[in-house]
Each structure stands twice: as structure tokens, then as C-alpha cells.
Structure 1
Amino acid sequence: MSEALEDGDIYFLYRPRVGEQHVDSLGEVQRLLVVLHPWHGRRRLRLLVVGRKRLPEIDEHDRFWAFVDAVVSRPEELYEALRPHRYGTKTRGERFQPPARPAAEGAYCITRHDDHTHLAYQLELPRRPGPPQHELRIEPEASYVITVKNPRAPSPPGVGLPGPGRPELPADLQERFRTRRFAPLDPPRFLDHRGVELVLIGAAHDASAELGIDLDAEVERAARNTIFEDLRIGRAERPEAPLFTAQWR
């Protein structure tokens, strides 16, 4: 059996590569973003960036790095991370970075299961996943073992964040590592610190059965708003097609 540590709304977005007005495949995606919006305690939103531009393969038990890119108290504060950007370069002139586009939404639960922790979710939208969700590996329901990297421990070559940006955790959280390089995501307060690095490992397609949790009930609670209402992002500048019709845009 598992113990729920946190639940809330989960949103998946992708950021197109610079200059790509229309996305037709994963090759034109720069980043996969995940927003976690807990329902209880101090209201906050955490923006996570997932490495390799997609979620880990469940059946292969892939291990992907991720990190906390922003922690804010109001949806408006996420605008800078999600908005379009224009900037000048010496060699190519003005460049345009399109806004992040919603790809899926639903409910999530962080659970303690034996000696490790899981991030599990179930989608509310899109009703039927299409090419964007398949290529980004956003399953209708899934579970991932999730661990936190000790910010004082070195990273393997070529992975993780550069050393100077490492977070300084409160003493009670840092003590959770003891002498280990990784620790379970317990408590989820680890996610409230920008720069915290995570490892996601594909675990199960049927998260409800694996963890003994009722994700259907969680989704019913999450269905009150869509990403547009909850995060207050404009529909005009962010195409709805990936979320409602499950097509690239």
C-alpha cells in the first residue's frame, strides 16, 4: 500500500524551438514543461523542465533528469517562463521564441510506496491522446518513481545542472540525504526550491492499481478548470489544438 503525500492539478506544455511557428513533430520541440499546482497547504505553482523533451518510457524503465525551474505563488508569475520572446542576434538578426503550448492536463498524486516515492497522474484532457501526446510520451495514466538529487553531490558527466546554480536547501531537507546522492521525494517540499534536480524512472501504466490510489476521484476534483482558467494564460497566443484536438500546432 502507499501513502499520499500531495495531490493537485498537473499541466503538460511544450515549448517550440526558436523560429518554429508551427510544430509538426518532436524534432521541432525545445522543451517539455510540467506544472504542479497542489490543492492543499500554501498555494503555489512549480514549473519543472524534463530532459530529453519527453517523459520516460514506462516499459523500458527509462531514467530521465528533470529540474525545478520556477516556484511562484500566483499564476501571473509564470508568464515570463511561458510567454513568447523576441531577441536580437549579431548573425541572424531578430529571433522569435514561440510561447509554450498546452498539451495535456489532469490530476497528480505524490505517494510514498515502501522505501521510495512515486509521481502518478491521470489525464482529463485531451480525451483521446494524439501525435503530440504519443511523441511526448504523455500517457493517459502513468506512474514514475521520483527521487531528489543531493545538491551537494556531484552529477555524472554530461547530465544535471551546472554547479554554480545549485540550490541551498533548508537544514531539515538537506539532512534527509545523510551521505546519499539521492533521496525519495519525501516531503514534497523539496519541489519548493528552484534548481532542485530530480530523476524520473518509468514504473507503471496503471498507476491506480500499482499504488492502490483512486486517480479517477482525483481527476473529478481537477475537472473544475482547464489550464487556461487555472494558470490564466491567454488562448489567443497559445493554440488550443494540442489540448482539445490532440494535434500538433
Structure 2
Amino acid sequence: MVSTRSKATNHHSSPAQGAETGEKRSQPSPSSSTKNGRSPKKAKQENEQDVAEKKEFEVSVQGEPTTETQEEENNLGEEGVKDEIAAEDAKAKDEDRVESREDEVKREEKKESGEKDDDDEPRHGTLESGHIYFLYRPKVETDEAESLDDISKFHILLIPQSGKHSKGHYHRIIEVGKKKLPDPGAKHQVIWGLVGGVGEDKSTLKESFGAYTYETKTRGTRHQAAARPAARGHYILHSPRDELADSPDHNRQRDYKTLLAYEITTPTQEDFGQVQKELGIEEKGAVVLQVKDPNVESRGNPRAAGIPREKRAQYPQHLLDIFRNRRFIPSNPVSLLDYQGAELLIITSPHELHESLGKQGEKVEDDLDHDSAVEKVSMDDALKELGMSKSEFPEDALEGNWA
């Protein structure tokens, strides 16, 4: 019995017993396990077995495990729970990705088949919210812009974070005529727009806004510089309730007036400069959006000039029915903006923002303020969200300076 216990003590003595005999027991760390050629998982299993043997021996000798052994066992248990949680989180993320892809496929199938979606009816309230970017592109063979005269295109990029497009990286690229927003102080100014691109993959943004070269017969190789982000913020598409909406004689569709309201998060107020001023970007602003019937000929829209009928928005019949022989209607439902080639009117909203947003305007504006504060990001994060880098996309404009 004595000799047997001595052997056991040599192999399974607790840290407390080791201290009495001048011996110190050491546990292999995960890093040392990896260095010795064992995987972290294998090392963890050996640690668990080692602690279990220590506990069994201490119970047989003194009736209960030492405090230190009990703490080791608890720590291993906590690590196990963390591993289980991490595994569950990874599984949930995988399932979300699968569901997201399935949702995308279903949406595309509905879109192609012309099947009516639940969100394809006009309604009031906040229809959608998400991230908004304003970007401009210098003219061909112009590496740096110094004013509006040096830019070829101005874009609004919408990345929804709510509704049916809340998953993935769905986005709409709107090309803005006159290369700027309507003047904020104007009573009624109308600028043409065009949905120039719709996508579901962040990588396509780099293709849309990146630099490229092309060949011409008369001028040879031409270079188009990359777009420059000028501002980033939070947006909502909101349809205020009209007091006359219940009148049977009222123009029902026009009751669904839709505003694109936004609040800039990058740059900060202190960094607002000439770029934002000349592009008509406010720290907090709104414009009215209307959509043109694609079956009606365009008149004076430079962004739609020369676009053949087959390249215009191909709306399914249930969306075409909403026009009811009207040339323009509010962009409500927002699915009217989901079709490349859709022609738009971008119109000033001359009132204070809360007044433009209707009876609940103050609350809606408060919600916009809150969401914008939560979404404040650094300039580096803004570029990262677009799949861009400083080397490819100069960030000077986000500091108020032309680039």
C-alpha cells in the first residue's frame, strides 16, 4: 500500500503536495502544446484528462480536491462553454449566409418572373433605411479635380440595412444630373437622375467606381480615374401621411410622396468643405424622388440620352400598373428603384426636415439622428465598407478638399 501510494504521489501529486516535497507541477500551455507538435484541440483534451486524474487522486487521498484543482476544472469548463458558444455562433452565421443567399435567389426569381412581392404596394411611413454615400468621378485623363468643372459624374450610393434587402451587400447606384444635388435653398429645383447600377456583391462596387483604361480609334488609350467618396451617412426613404389621403377625390398615388432624407456621419461637421458645398451635400438634408414611366419617351434627361427602350427599366406589369398613365409617380414602393435604367426626378424639399417628414416628423428626425450617431465611422472604415483602399481611392474629399 505504501509503495503504491508513493508511486501515485510521484505521478499525481497536487500542487500543494508538490510544494511540501520541493517539487513543482507544471501544466503544458496551449502554445507549448502547439510547439511540441500537438494541436490545441489535442492539448486541451490532455489537460482535461490530467485535471480529472488529479481530482480523482486527491479525492481518494484527502476526501476532496484541492482549491487549485477545482479552479482548473472550472476554467476548463468555462472554456468548453465558450467553445460551444463560438461553434453555435459560427453555425448561425453559416445558416444566415445560406438564408441570405436563398433570399437573394428567391428575389431574383420573383423579379424575373414578374411575381408580385409583399413590398410592391405603396405605403406610408419609413420604407427603408441604410447607408448612403456620395461619390464623384474626375473627367477622363484628369487625375485630380479642382471644381465641378473637372468631374464627369456624381453618384448617390444606397446600401439598404432594412427590409427585404437587409442581408448581404445589396446596393443601388444613382447617377445624378448636373453633377450635384438640387440647391438646398431653392424653392423648386428639379434634377434628372438614373439608376445606373443594382448589385448584391460588394466586389462589384470596386468595378463600378474603380479606375480603368479603354481604347479609342482617334485618341488611343484613355484613362479614367477612380471615383472619390465625398460623404457617407445614414438615410431613410420616408413617405409622410397626407391629410387629404382619405378623400376619394384626391390623387391617391400622389399621396405617397417619398423623400430621401439623410444625415452625414463622415466627414464630421468640422471637415465639411468646398467639395460638399459645391456638390450640394448638407449635414442633414432631403430630396424628393419620383420615377418615370419607362414606356414614355425621355425629354431632356442627359443621363438617359441614347438609352434604347430595351435598356430602360424592365418593370413587371404589377409595377407598371401603378403609373396609370402618369408620366411620373413617387418612388413608392421602393422596388421601383431596384431596376437598372429607371429614370428619376430629384427635387428640392424646401421645408425644414421635420416638416417635410409629416405629422410624426420630429420623431422620425430624432430616429434619424440616433441611427446616424450609432453609425459614425472613421474614414478608413468608410473606405473599407466600399471595398476601397487609400492607395486606390484618395480620401481627400472626405476632408472637404477636391482630389
**Could you state the TM-score of these two structures normalised by the residue count of structure 1?**
0.93
CA RMSD of aligned residues (A): 1.7
Contact 1:107 1:222 in 2 (8 A): yes
Q: Matched residues, percent identical?
A: 36
Give matches, 1:4-83, under 5 Å. Answer: 4-40=126-162, 41-42=164-165, 43=167, 44-60=170-186, 61-83=188-210
The runs of 4+ residues in structure 1 deviating greater than 4 Å are 157-160
Structure 1: stretches of 5+ with no match in the other structure: none
Name the structure 2 match of 1:151.
294
Name the structure 2 match of 1:193.
339
Separation of aligned partners in 1, 2:197 and 2:224:
19
Aligned length: 247
Contact 1:142 1:205 in 2 (8 A): no
Cα distance, 1:158 vs structure 2: 5.5
Q: Is structure 2 residue 314 aligned with structure 1 residue 176?
A: no
* Greater strand fraction, Structure 1 or Structure 2: 1
Please tell me the residue identity of whatever aligns with 2:400. Answer: A
Of 236, 244, 254, 1:109 maps to 236
Separation of aligned partners in 2, 1:223 and 1:175:
40
Contact 1:142 1:204 in 2 (8 A): no
Contact 2:129 2:161 in 1 (8 A): yes
Q: Is structure 2 residue 397 aligned with structure 1 residue 242?
A: yes
Separation of aligned partners in 1, 2:377 and 2:160:
14
What is the SS of the residue equivalent to 1:21? Answer: coil
Compared CA separation, residues 38 and 21, structure 1 to 2 (3 A): same
Cα distance, 1:78 vs structure 2: 1.7
Cα distance, 1:205 vs structure 2: 6.7
Separation of aligned partners in 2, 1:158 and 1:110:
23
CA-to-aligned-CA distance 1:135-187 (integer Å, 9 cap, x gap): 11111111111111111112224555234321210222111101111111111
Separation of aligned partners in 1, 2:375 and 2:197:
22
Q: Is structure 2 residue 156 aligned with structure 1 residue 3?
A: no
Name the structure 2 match of 1:96.
223
Name the structure 1 match of 2:285.
142
> Which of 209-218 and 171-180 deviates more?
209-218
Contact 1:58 1:205 in 2 (8 A): no
Structure 2: stretches of 5+ with no match in the other structure: 1-123, 243-254
Q: Work out which of the two has the higher radius of gyration on C-alpha atoms and give 1 or 2.
A: 2
Name the structure 1 match of 2:369.
216
Separation of aligned partners in 2, 1:155 and 1:93:
33
Separation of aligned partners in 1, 2:156 and 2:340:
14
CA-to-aligned-CA distance 1:89-117 (integer Å, 9 cap, x gap): 33333221000011001011111123111
Contact 1:143 1:205 in 2 (8 A): no
Name the structure 1 match of 2:43.
none
> Which of 24-33 and 77-86 deviates more?
77-86
Name the structure 2 match of 1:203.
349
Compared CA separation, residues 180 and 101, structure 1 to 2 (3 A): same
Q: Is structure 2 residue 267 aligned with structure 1 residue 126?
A: yes
Cα distance, 1:229 vs structure 2: 2.3
Separation of aligned partners in 2, 1:160 and 1:90:
24
What is the SS of the residue equivalent to 1:247? Answer: coil
CA-to-aligned-CA distance 1:108-141 (integer Å, 9 cap, x gap): 1111123111111110111131011111111111
Please tell me the residue identity of whatever aligns with 1:119. Answer: L
Cα distance, 1:87 vs structure 2: 1.8
Contact 2:205 2:387 in 1 (8 A): no
Contact 1:62 1:202 in 2 (8 A): yes
